Amino acid sequence: MPVGTRGTVKGLLPDLVAQTGSQVVLNNTYHLLLRPGPDTVQKLGGVHRFMGWPGPILTDSGGYQAFSMADINAVDDDGVTFRSIIDGREVRLTPESATRVQNQLGADIIMAFDDCPPSQTVQAEEADPRLARALKRDAIGRRGMDHAERLRIANERTVRWLERCKAAHGRADEQALFGIVQGGTDLDQRSWSAERITNIELPGYAIGGVAVGEPAEEIARIVSHTAPLLPEHKPRYLMGVGYERDLVAAVLAGVDMFDCVLPTRNGRNANAFTAGGPIRLRNAAYTEDPSPIEPGCDCPACDPARHGWQAPGPFSRAYIRHLFMSGEMLGPILLSLHNVRLFQRLMTDIRRTIQEDDWEGFAARWPQARPGLGQVLPAV
C-alpha cells in the first residue's frame, strides 16, 4: 500500500497511483486530525472523495507517531498527549478518540490505537534519532525502567486499548478494525501479545513495532515467529516494512499486506529501486546516460507509451538526473512512479511464484530479494 499520509501520495495524481497497480492506499489519522481535521473531511464526503481515490483506504491510528514523535508527546495508561507539529497546541489521542476520528474519516480499514515501544538496539539508537528520543522519553537506561518492563507495559496497554477501540467503533458494519500485535524483539512477549490480541474477534490483525531500529535479520526473526500466530483465514498485515528482502521473508512467514514510505520517500530523493539493486541518480555517472531507469520496466517513466502518454521514448536517467539537479518537481514524480510500480511488480511476481512454486526463478529475477529467501533457498 503506497503511503499517502496527509491524504495524498506525494506528487502523484490518484489515477497515476492506480496505473502503478496499487489497489489500496494508506492515510494517517494523526496528521489528518491536525489538518484539515476530521470534521472537515467528513463534511466533504470522507477521505475517498476528499482525495479523489476510488479504491480502498487504510488509516493508521496515530499510535506509531507516539514512537516517532517521542520528543513532543507523553504516553500514559489512558492515551497519548502530543504537541501539534503545526501550531504547538496540545492534542490528546485515546483509543476512543482515535477510533472516532477514523470513523469520521471513513476509511475502509482502520487500525486500533496501540502503544509502540522502542526496540533496544545500541547500534540502531546511534543510527536512528527517533529511537534515541523514544528511549529517553520512556527513561529506558541506567536510571529508568528497563526494556523488559517497557515491553510488558506496552503489551498490556495495547490489549486494553484494543478492547476500548472495539467498544468505541461506531461503524463496524462499514469499516474493518484491525488489532496490532506488539512485543518488541522479545519472542515470548510477541507470543503473549498475539494470543491476547487474536482472542478479540476482529476482521484482521497486524504486526506492529517492527522496523523501528532492528536490523533485517531481527525483522525476519520477529515476523517469522509472529505471523503464524495470527489467524490463517484473516488478513495478516505487517506495518511499515520494507525492503525487498523484508517483504519476501514476511510473505514466506504468511503475511498478506504491507505498507512503507520507502518507494516514494526514496523517489523524492533521487534514489531508484530496480530488480538488480538501487540506483542513485544524482551521481555524475548518469549525466549522459540515455537508458531508462530500468530497461524492461513498464512504469510510466520507463515506458510512457504503454500508459497512453505521447512521448517519443522513455525518460532517460540523464534527464531525470537533470531534473533533480535543477530542482524540478518532475524528477521526484517520475521516480516515485517508478519505485511504486517496482514494488507492485515485485508483489505480482511473488503471487505468481507462490502459485508456481518457482523460487529459484524468482531469485534470479529479483536478486535484491534473495536475502529474504532463506526459508526456501540455500544461502549463497
Residues with catalytic roles: 60, 259
Helices (H) and strands (E) in the chain, counts: 16, 12
Adjacent-strand bridge partners of 236: 205
Report the residue count for the chain. Answer: 380
Rounding to the nearest 10 degrees, give the CA dihedral for residues 11, 40, 35, 267: -20
The CA distances from residue 334 to 41, 108, 322, 325, in Å, are 29, 29, 12, 14
Q: Which residues pair with 310 in a beta bridge?
A: none
Residue 43's H or E segment, with its range, is helix 38-43
Using DSSP's 3-state secondary structure scheme, residue 16 falls into: helix
Supply the DSSP string of 174-221, one letter for each residue: TSEEEEEE--TT-HHHHHHHHHHHHTS--SEEEE-S-SSS--HHHHHH
Residue 237 contacts by C-beta under 8 Å, 6 or more apart in sequence? 178, 204, 205, 206, 207, 255, 256, 257, 258
Q: Distance between CA 69 and CA 86 in Å, rounded?
A: 13
Q: What share of the chain is helix, strand, coil (3-state, %, to 5)?
A: 50, 10, 40
Q: Determine which helix (DSSP H) or strand (DSSP E) holds 136, and give its type and residue range.
A: helix 129-137
Between helices 95-105 and 147-168, what is the axis angle to 10°? Answer: 50
Greatest CA span in the chain, whole angstroms? 65
Q: Give the integer Cα–Cα distance in Å for 238 and 266.
A: 20
Query: Omega into 209 within 30° of 0, i.e. cis?
Result: no
> By the 8 A CB rule, do 335 and 270 touch?
yes
